[in-house]
Amino acid sequence: MKSSTLLVILCLQAALVMGIFAAVAKENAVGESKAININPGQLKCCTNCNFSFSGLYTCDDVNKDCDPVCKKCVAVQTYSGKMSFKCTDTFLGMCGPKC
């Protein structure tokens, strides 16, 4: 087989693979519709702060009641068996002062 024919076949295969990846990425909406829902507020305090370099943070504090700023609060069971609450929102900016 001539080297020019082989080169054409390799280019067509590369274009086919790129087209398949583009179709899958568009179907899965990579980086578009899966955006994080950011809470614009700020918690009054946070001791266990998970801060990322992107400027987003979550607070892993477990409290007896949920902060009023929190939009999504989940009930968690502590080691002692008592029910407490944890805010699962993602916030923009810096963590609040330590509790």
Is the alpha carbon torsion for 97, 61, 66, 74 positive or negative? positive
The secondary structure element, H or E, covering residue 45 is none
Mean pLDDT in runs of 10 for the chain (99 residues)? 77 68 55 66 86 85 88 89 89 83
* Dihedral pair phi/psi, residue 30, rounded to 5°: -65, 120
Q: By three-state DSSP, how is residue 7 classified?
A: helix
Task: Identify the pLDDT of residue 92.
Answer: 86
Domain ranges of the chain: 38-92
Task: Identify the pLDDT of residue 33.
Answer: 47
Report angle CA 72, 73, 75 to the nearest 5 degrees. 145
